[in-house]
Amino acid sequence: MLTKKIIFILFAVLFSCCITAQDISFENYNPQSTLVVPGHVINRAKFPFIDVHGHQYSMANQDLTPVIKAMDTLNMSIMVNLSGRTGDDLKKSVQNIHDHYPNRFVVFANISFNGNVGKKGWIEEIVNQLERDVKNGARGLKVYKSLGLRDQDVHGERVAINDARLDPIWAKCGELGIPVLIHAADPKPFWDDFDADNERWLELKTHPRRKRSATNPAPWEQIIGEQHSMFKNHPKTIFINAHMGWYANDLGTLGRLLDDIPNMNVGIAAVIAELGRQPRFAKEFFIKYQDRILFGKDSWKPEEFPTYFRVLESKDEYFPYHKKYHAFWPMYGMDLPDDVLKKVYYKNALRLVPGLDKSLFPN
């Protein structure tokens, strides 16, 4: 009797496994590649590098030692903390850096636009505060994607990125000689139909709040166009377009934009998966625009940096990305020349961001 019961349980388990395999969802389908090709994980960058798109949200008070240990493992010499805030918070972060690791971090200031644009005296006040922040140690200005997406003026209207009321801010950055690193909008598929043809289907399925209607709060093309208009209106100001302006999947268009907007540069944060699936074309692009591209990562997850190193440095084939919902396709190495790597890793940042310690890097 006991034997029959055991047989029945085993049969039920096997039947259940078969049903599960038949009904597995795309979210759970994650096959291990059987392809055997030369290649290896690169845990440490070939050259010291600057991460121009870092975030340490508690820098004013945090112990920076664990961050430094991870940076040293990766060969990251300087992190640009874009979350420097403003006023006393920024001064505290600068002081923390000065007291412990004075040449390893710098901070960018931030501005709160929501509900403020259009207030009497606000623009004069914020420009003066920006000047004080730079005097207190800020090396640039970081603009979050809320501008153009969520930020509203005093009348409850969406603030366009090229709103003329903001012109004094961008002009002041040019006058002070600091770059503006700006994140505008999100990937274009977030605005597209949520269907089987949407390449970001998995990301939208697992992160449904990222989905927008075609006009929420404005068409994607309009928001991106506002950003480019703002760049052109302020040719004396240096802009670093975060996430390659969401054109890493269309490098031909991005190249035409770089040709048309000489004060625009791009950072590769969070779009390495786009580059890793077009290694030959991307390599040509990096060689052509080698003076306009900067290394950045965005989220502080040290275990994800090796994907960036491997795509940029190696000629490896068909290796996995670190996050399935960003890219369900394999990566390929671009095998960039050393002189191009050095510019992407540190030389361009040393030229665009004031006050970085050049002694930390080779010539």
pLDDT 10s digits, 236-251: 999 999 999 999 999 9
Find, among 242, 204, 189, 232, the residue nearest to 53 by Cα. 242
pLDDT of residue 325: 86
One-letter amino acid for residue 278 of the chain: Q
Q: Enter the pTM of the model.
A: 0.93
Read off the pLDDT band of 8 (50, 70, 90): low
**Tokens read off for 348:** 């361009």
Q: How far apart are CA 294 and CA 89, in angstroms?
A: 27
- Confidence tier at 21 by pLDDT (50, 70, 90): confident
The whole-angstrom separation of Cα 231 and Cα 292 is: 15
91, β-bridge pairs? none
Amino acid type, 13: V
Backbone angles phi, psi at 82, to 5 degrees: -75, -10
Mean pLDDT of 220-234: 98
Task: Please tell me whether residue 348 adopts helix, strand or coil conformation.
Answer: helix
pLDDT, mean of residues 337-344: 98
Least confident segment among 2-6, 142-146, 279-283:
2-6
Question: End-to-end distance of the chain based on CA atoms, in angstroms?
Answer: 80
The string of pLDDT tens digits covering residues 125-182 is 999 999 999 999 999 999 999 999 999 999 999 999 999 999 999 999 999 999 999 9
Q: Which amino acid is at 358?
A: K
Judged against a pLDDT cut of 80, whether residue 10 lies above it is answered with: no
Confidence bin at 7 (pLDDT 50/70/90): low
Q: Is the pLDDT of residue 2 over 80?
A: no
Examine the pLDDT at 116 and tell me if it is beyond 70. yes
**pLDDT confidence of residue 6:** 59
> What pLDDT is attached to residue 254?
98
Burial of 308-341, coded b for 16+ CB within 10 Å and e otherwise, reads: bbbbbbbebeebebbebebbbebbbbbebeeebb
Indicate whether 86 pLDDT > 90. yes
29 band by pLDDT with thresholds 50, 70 and 90: confident
Q: What is the mean pLDDT of the chain?
A: 94
Nearest Cα neighbor of 241 from 233, 231, 252, 253 is 231
Amino acid 3: pLDDT: 60
Fill in the amino acid letter for 63. Answer: D
